[in-house]
Amino acid sequence: MPQGTDTDTDIPMADSLLRRFFLPKPNRFFLLRLSAVALATVLFFTQVLIPLRIEGYSMEPTYRNGTFNLCWRWRYLLSEPRHGDVVVIRFAGRRVMLLKRVVALAGDSVAFREGVLLINGQPVTEPYVRMRSNWNLEPRTVAAGKVYVVGDNRGVPIERHHFGQVDQERIMGGVLW
């Protein structure tokens, strides 16, 4: 018999190893490994990285309708959200989540004048906002334990947007990229 072949099948050893790796015999050890991988996968994609399908236009052009991303759940484990962070907010359970940008933190005064965001009375440069509508909103102070969030697509009327103060506990995490 030629060297480097499997004794049972005359197939080169590399092919045999690959076949056993990708098509193992379903014994108890295989089922245990399969169960462990399935459990680890479910835990990872429910507790660490949550897959998101972006539906809607409120974060365009930064995040486009119909694309996918991941929510990094541990992003704010040891830190607080900062100005400009894009966060995933639990809106209704874990099925409906909103993707929004943090524009103001607790204690900040936030307002819109002719579409321009004002934080503590000062205009904010927002290179991610492409189109602006005539948003006008009187100044309001963000309460303790909350952040003020808004989408990047400001080209639609203010009445058609979900934005405002959100409890920090409702923030699920940040987007991965």
Residues with a catalytic annotation lie at 58, 100
Burial 109-147 (b: 16+ CB within 10 A, else e): ebbbeeebbbbeeeeeebeebeeebebeeeeeebeeebb
- CA pair distance 70, 86, nearest whole angstrom: 12
Is 54 strand, coil or helix?
coil
Answer whether the bond into residue 51 is a cis peptide, omega within 30°: no
Question: Do the beta carbons of residue 55 and residue 150 sit within 8 Å?
Answer: no
Is 47 strand, coil or helix?
helix
- CA pair distance 171, 73, nearest whole angstrom: 9
* CA-wise closest residue to 141 among 114, 162, 116, 164: 164
What number of other Cβ atoms are within 10 A of residue 65's Cβ? Answer: 13
